[in-house]
Amino acid sequence: MVTTEQSKFLSHGFDLAWAESAGSNGFLLWLQHMGDGLKAIIVDLLSLPMPIIAAVSGHAATTGFMLVLSHDYVLMRKDRGSSI
């Protein structure tokens, strides 16, 4: 399986503006919700019974970096993006 991105960024991270829209009482709850979702995706990727490849053509920062690390192989351009 190959994972790619649609733009020049794989991920900018969690949507903190969305979490902040819940107000001060809901912010931590929504942030926890995003973290739980990310953990579930990473566990699923790590447990796949086949090799998975992250084809990263741009930047992989924060959450995107964690997703890339959950793959078996990472392919990146040498002239752009983050280096792992």
State the pTM of this model. 0.72
Q: How far apart are CA 7 and CA 17, in angstroms?
A: 20
- Average pLDDT for 58-73: 84
Q: What's the pLDDT score for residue 77?
A: 72
Pull the structure tokens for residue 71: 């793959």
Question: How confident is residue 81, by pLDDT bands cut at 50, 70 and 90?
Answer: low
pLDDT in tens, 1-15: 998 877 666 666 777
Contact assessment for residue 59 and residue 82, using Cβ atoms and an 8 Å cutoff: yes
Domain ranges of the chain: 2-76
pLDDT in tens, 30-54: 888 888 999 999 999 999 999 999 9
